[in-house]
Structures are given as structure tokens and as C-alpha cells.
Amino acid sequence: DVKVTQSSRYLVKRTGEKVFLECVQDMDHENMFWYRQDPGLGLRLIYFSYDVKMKEKGDIPEGYSVSREKKERFSLILESASTNQTSMYLCASTINWEFHSNQPQHFGDGTRLSIL
């Protein structure tokens, strides 16, 4: 089974802090994704990566950046946290960029982030 591990289940930070959310997958997947999930809005894509050191903006990249230095690890960074970034953050991975549109995404357990 694919295992996608997010470093924290719950996180509380203060406005203006730099926040790091970590995600690791153990199945050698090429593609990794960061979403946020808010009530009534569903899952919204923040950034994704299809290879080491590669990144692409999703639908809502403003206020976020990402880092993928190793294939198994994809980090989401909130440069200066704001209260409107309070949300559930989900990391996901799929196996291969060329066929990724046909591949289901495997999700981590999520990080519930509160910005005070």
C-alpha cells in the first residue's frame, strides 16, 4: 500500500510566522500535490510537482511556496502566515506524470493548521 505521511496532524502558528508542512511518500511516485480543503469549497490545488526540483502552480498559489529536493519529499511553505490560511492541508501523490490523469491520488492524513 502507498503510504503518504504528513509531519503534523495539528499545528498552531501565529500571524507572520514562516510555516513548513512536510510530506513524504514511500512508493517512488513522481507526482506530488498540495491541496487545502475548506468547508463548501472542496479541495483546491495549491502547487504540484512532477519531478525533483520541478514545481507548478495550482489554482491558489498566492502566499505559498514549495520545495522538492528529493523525490519522496514535498514541502509546503507559508512565507508569512495569515489567518485566512487556516485550513486543512492535504498532500497527495500519483505514480507517473505521463499517465497521471488516469491515476488516482493517494492522500496523507492531513494537517489541520490554525493561524492565530
Partner 1 sequence: QKEVEQNSGPLSVPEGAIASLNCTYSDRGSQSFFWYRQYSGKSPELIMFIYSNGDKEDGRFTAQLNKASQYVSLLIRDSQPSDSATYLCAVSNNDMRFGAGTRLTVKP
Q: Determine the Cα angle at 19 with ends 52 and 4, to 5°.
A: 50
Nearest CB to partner 1, comparing residues 14 and 57: 57
Contact between 84 and partner 1 (CB under 8 A)? Answer: no
For residue 42, state whether it binds partner 1 (rule: CB under 8 A).
yes
Q: Is 59 left (phi over 0), alpha (psi -120 to 50) or beta?
A: alpha
90 touches partner 1 (CB under 8 A): yes
Q: Which stretch binds partner 1 (CB under 8 A): 16-24, 66-74, 77-85, 102-110?
A: 102-110
Residues 18-37, interacting with partner 1 (CB under 8 A): 35
Report d(CA 100, CA 108) in Å as an integer: 18
CB of 5 to partner 1, least distance (A): 11
Closest among 45, 66, 44 to 55, alpha carbons compared: 66
